[in-house]
Structure 1
Amino acid sequence: MVKESRGHCSEMTRMFARAGCSGKYPGNVERDIMRCLELPVDIHYVQIPVLAAANRRERTMMNLPILYPHELIHYLHESGKVNITQDFTPPPITKGTLIVDDMHSQAMMTGGLLSWEGGTFPRLDLKAWNSRLMTAYFHVVLRRVRETIADDVDPLLRKEVSMAFACTNSIAAFMDQMERASRYLTPSEAQIMADAISGFLRLWEGLALISQRRQVPRWKAVPKHHTLRHLSEDQLRNLLNCRHFHSFVDEDFIGFWKGLVQAVPKELLEFRCLTRYLLRLKVQH
């Protein structure tokens, strides 16, 4: 490259050409290029125990590359790629139990939303708007079932129906208060929502136990329930309505990271992903 240009090339091009001792040692090319480009944030390493590749019953220590969050945030702020400010004016809030969004990405339900998770548990995937509608629908249906259930029905099934109605009532109360409240909660509003979530989680746990006793896989405890508890606890502490938090940027980042993992060679996967992410971050404006 340098030879073809007859010397009319940048110093950066010359440094690239010298990578890996001008190609003599290909294994050192990546190292030399990384040194040349100067990553904006240092990569640190921590030792973690992992199962050994040769014997999966034994543990060995592995050096895992990581980025320190405070260093990354400092770089993003100092470089002007992200503006961090405390000045914030909340947009106007439309109050009401149900708020119609004409631009919603999922205006109707389709058959593909209902599935069997693992071939065992029934699963219904809904967007936030449809979740509110279906919660109100389940509330009406379960109340009617509870009122008209026959006397000779299995006592456990009767109890399951009553608890399912109470569980739906709890999450409906949470959603109703969430919709009615503004961005900034009062202590009483936050407490109402926390009590509703606490009741919902206790009832769901009871439903899972009943489902196990009846040998009918209907109520599955999922990790998001733990996150939901933290959400209500955070609202009690900071008095900010969860309805006004969005994860669009986070989801976009996860999509980018997934593509990155699929694209890079699998040797030194973590290191290669971090370096390519930092290089991408450096050239973005």
Structure 2
Amino acid sequence: MSFKPVFSALLATAAWLSASPAAAIAIASPAVVLTPGTVSYTNVTPADEAALSPSTRNLTGLGAYSSTVENTSTVKRVQTAPTATTAGLAYVYSVTEATTTTTQINAYYDSFSWSQTFTGNSSGNEIVTFSGTLTAAQKLGAVLDISASGSYTPETTPFGSAAPALPSFFYREGGTGAWTALTTYSSAAPAGGNVFTSNALQSLGLAAGSSTFFEVAVLAGNGVDLSGLTVWLGTDYYDRYEVELSKVTSTTETLIGAEVLTPVPEPETYALFAAGLLFVVMRLRNRNR
């Protein structure tokens, strides 16, 4: 199904990706259940019918990201030690320790598909309808992708050959009321052949605990022969969780300056200073007496 990669890419940018990380959740049942209704055919005969597949639990990686936590400190390293008569030299470095964690975001989505191949009426005027009931266990969005393929007989005009009107897609909910025409995407190539593949999309909003009955219809006009139809439904992502893939710690040093260290007095200098200080103290005491 050509739409699935686009569907995944769109959902991967959903708003909840900016939410805080969620813990992994064990899922016992699908978030939605699709119960097929009826299929009807006009001027077309099913050749091989593929039953509606059960809900497929898909675990999809939405891409890895990195978060960096940094701690910065300053250190001084002596290059030349001072002596009693000579100043020393020390270099000052800014040291940064960074821990980078790479995390894979995973999420689930449910999908269903129903496929049908046809034999039938090359002159066209073929109609196929499909119905189903979608029941949601939690609030979700969903997208229906309806695809048709087949061949057509190019029409001859004074300006050359041309493709006839390709299949039209329709949708309605509730089983009554007017049908809504859907926007159609076509890959027909009138200049390169007489085969086509086209599809249409319909989004659904599902409240928690709700059920929606829907119908889709495909109409092929004159000169168009349907050979296949697929109805695929996929929910948006839910029950997001994260898995830590790696954690790397790195250290970088940056020289920010140099510092001159003052000379260190010799032990004899300290002794003379102490003796002088003692002499001054004793003189002060004698004077006070």
| TM-score (norm. length: structure 1) | 0.19
Bigger RCO (CA 8 Å, 6+ sep): 2
Greater strand share, structure number: 2
**Higher Rg of the two aligned structures:** 2
| TM-score (norm. length: structure 2) | 0.19
